[in-house]
Every structure is written in C-alpha cells, then in structure tokens.
Structure 1
Amino acid sequence: MVLYFENKIQYNFDFETTTLAHLNRYPNPYAKHVLSVDTLDSHIDKEGQLNITRIIVKTGRLPKFVRPFLGSTNLNSWIIEKLIINPKTKTMKSYTSNIDHRKFIRIEEFLNFQTDKSLLNLIECNAKVKFSSNLIGLKSKIEEWSHQKFSKNINNSRDGLTYVMNKMKEKGKYYFIKKNMNNGLGV
C-alpha cells in the first residue's frame, strides 16, 4: 500500500517574495532539524525558467522500530530538491525526495506554487506527498508512521516559509526607508 497526503495553502505574498523565501527558507526557527543546504546545479533553460538542484541534510526521523534494521546510529537524511521557477507564468514547481533509507521509506513531495490570477499578492500552493516502503512485513506500519509524522509537521514547514517571507518584508521595508532617508526624501 502506498499512502498519499494532499494539501492546499495560500500565502498572502507576491510571487517574487514567495520564490525567494522558498529558496532561503533555511535556517528558520521552525526547521531546527535542517543541518545544511547545498546547491548542486542552477541554470536557466531554453524557456527562460530557472532550474535548481539542491541537497538538504536533515536530522533523521525514522521510527524506533526500524532502527535495528539500519545497523547505524547516524540517521541523518539526505534530501534531493529540484526546483523549476518560471517568471513568465509566475509558477514554481518543487520536487523533494529522500535519497537514503529508501529500502525503508521513500517520501516524495511535489509542490506547485502559482499566482492567483485575480489577486497578484496571493500565491496558491498545492502539495502532494507520496509515502512508499519496500520493507516486507513492516511496509504498512512504516508508511502510516511517516504519513502521521508528516501530517503533524506540515504546519511547521508552512509557518517556517511564512516566517521567512515576513522577515524579507521587514528587511525590504527597512531598506526602502533607509534608502529614502539617505536620498533626503524622508518618509
């Protein structure tokens, strides 16, 4: 059995702020489990889309009943992230998946960010997450545990991105005020 999680959320920010915040979402107070983020590749394709591939290392969160099978105490998880940002259509697609512990669990997250056509300062994000395990005998238990854990943690991910967007907005406002004061415009 493969389990899925689907979710839709809206952010009251413009496309540029949302995409920049997504690229810079770590560190934030809601993601203390993220140890590092490294960019492996970035390029602009023929359609003018920005393509980015990154590796994210997080502290491991596997269930205790699986740990004896790993033979290791290091449960850090390595995540591949692939992003496609289209500035013309104001869409961003994100794919993340663990690249380790796949015998036990594979978690694939598909995010689709798009600007609301009627409200330019509203971004809709559709999320679909797939949980699949190949461990015979514990497959359903592992998938259910992962689904429950993800369901509990989804708010932290969304709150973390919102936190980063708000910080960017504050810094942008501060920069604008400072720039105008330096130009003698006052505020």
Structure 2
Amino acid sequence: MVKYFCNNTDIRSTWDHVVSAFWQRYPNPFSTHVLTEDVVYREVTTDHRLLSRRLLTKTNRLPRWAERFFPAGMSRFVYIVEDSIVDPVNRSLTTYTWNLNHTTLMSVEERCVFQDSAEQPATTQLKREAWISSSIYGFSRPIQEFGLARFKSNQVKAMKGLEYALSNLQGEMPQRLLRDSVKDASGKAKEAAKNLASAASAPQKPQQYI
C-alpha cells in the first residue's frame, strides 16, 4: 500500500520570481531541518531547458513509538535527491525528490510543478504530489500515516519558506507576503487531505528525470 497526497496552490507572484526564489529558499527560518544543499549536476539542453540535480541533507526525527524498534546508532539524517527541470519556453519548473537512505523504513517521493498561470496575471500555479510507502512488516500502515502527517506539516513550512525567499527578493517584509499565500496553502492542504487515494487509485509514481 502507498499513501498518496496531492494539492494545488496559487502563489501570488510571477513565475520568474518564483523560480528565482526556488533557488534561494534555503536557509530560511521555516526549514531549519534542512542542513545542507549541494549541486551535483547541471546542464542546459539544446532546447534551453535547465536540468539540475541537487543533494540535500535533512534531520530525520523518528516518532517516539518507533525509536525502540530501531538501533540507537541509526542515522538521524536523511539524504534527499532533487531533480529539477526549468523550461523557460513553457514557463514551468518541475521537481522530483526522493530519499536515498532509510528507504525500508519509509520512502517519500514528491513531484512539484510550478506553472505560469494563463488565467490569473502575476500568479504561479503549484501542483504538489507525494507517494509515501514503508516496507516494515506489521508496521507499514502506522509508519505511512506518520509520514503523511509529517509531509503535510512540512509542505506548509515549505510554502512559508518559499514565500520568505520571495519577500527577500522583492524587498518586502516576509509577514506581508506570507499572510495570504500561506493561508491559501493551508486551506487547500486540508481540502486535499480529504481526497487521499489508496494505492489502487493513486496515479503512478513518476520516473526520475536525470
């Protein structure tokens, strides 16, 4: 079984600003669990798309009930690969992330598409999807439920961090920009949670880009 998450958010900023803020979103006060970020691959294709692969290190706090099942020396860090494609012609930024370690305990794969809105001026549409699974026999369901709850909490923080980066780029106070966009993201996250699909009905997980 796989837990599937999906939501859509309207970011009240132009696509160009959102892409610029995406590369400058760390560090920020809402993502203190992100420790490092390193570019390991980058290429501009003949059709002018920018392909990137980055490695991120994040803290990995286990739920208290799960700590007794795992070695005390188990790494408390998780290594994340982030593939991204910036397409300036179609004005889209697509990212795909997945964890490299602790995959037996929990695997989290995420796809985000930032698309310039054709209907709303100076607005970027974000579609975020995630697939959460666990291979721990007898405990996969509670681990997946924990992973889903953590993911929903972290994606709200991720939105706050992105808006914080946007506010810095635009020279405005973070609180002013965060107010409406974060409220909108939080409301839509609650709505999306009601529509969680089972593995049978969930879209197929995407392939890696690079």
Partner of 1:138: 139
State the Cα deviation string for residues 152-179 of structure 1 (Å, max 9, x = none).
23211101101100110118xxxxxxxx
Distance 1:42 1:67 in 2: 38
SS at match of 1:150: helix
SS at match of 1:54: strand
- Shift of residue 150 of structure 1? 1.4
The one-letter code of the counterpart of 2:5 is F
SS at match of 2:156: helix
- Shift of residue 67 of structure 1? 3.2
Which portions of structure 1, spanning 4 or more consecutive aligned residues, are displaced by more than 4 angstroms?
A: none
Calculate the TM-score normalised by the size of structure 2.
Answer: 0.77
SS at match of 1:140: helix
SS at match of 2:80: strand
Distance 1:66 1:103 in 2: 14
- Shift of residue 73 of structure 1? 4.4
SS at match of 1:136: coil
Partner of 1:42: 42
- Shift of residue 151 of structure 1? 1.6
Calculate the TM-score normalised by the size of structure 1.
Answer: 0.87
Distance 1:101 1:70 in 2: 11
Q: Between the two proteins, what is the percent identity of the paired residues? A: 26
The one-letter code of the counterpart of 2:23 is L
Distance 1:55 1:136 in 2: 29
Structure of greater relative contact order (alpha carbons < 8 Å, 6+ residues apart): 2
Q: In terms of mean alpha carbon deviation, does 66-75 or 112-121 score higher? A: 66-75
Distance 1:130 1:21 in 2: 25
- Shift of residue 3 of structure 1? 0.4
Distance 2:121 2:136 in 1: 46
- Unaligned runs of 5+ residues in structure 2 are 173-210
Q: In terms of mean alpha carbon deviation, does 40-49 or 75-84 score higher? A: 40-49
- Count, aligned residues: 171
SS at match of 1:66: helix
- Unaligned runs of 5+ residues in structure 1 are 172-187
CA RMSD of aligned residues (A): 1.4
SS at match of 2:144: helix
Partner of 1:158: 159
- Shift of residue 120 of structure 1? 4.0
Partner of 1:108: 109
Alignment of 1:2-151 (within 5 A): 2-71=2-71, 72-151=73-152
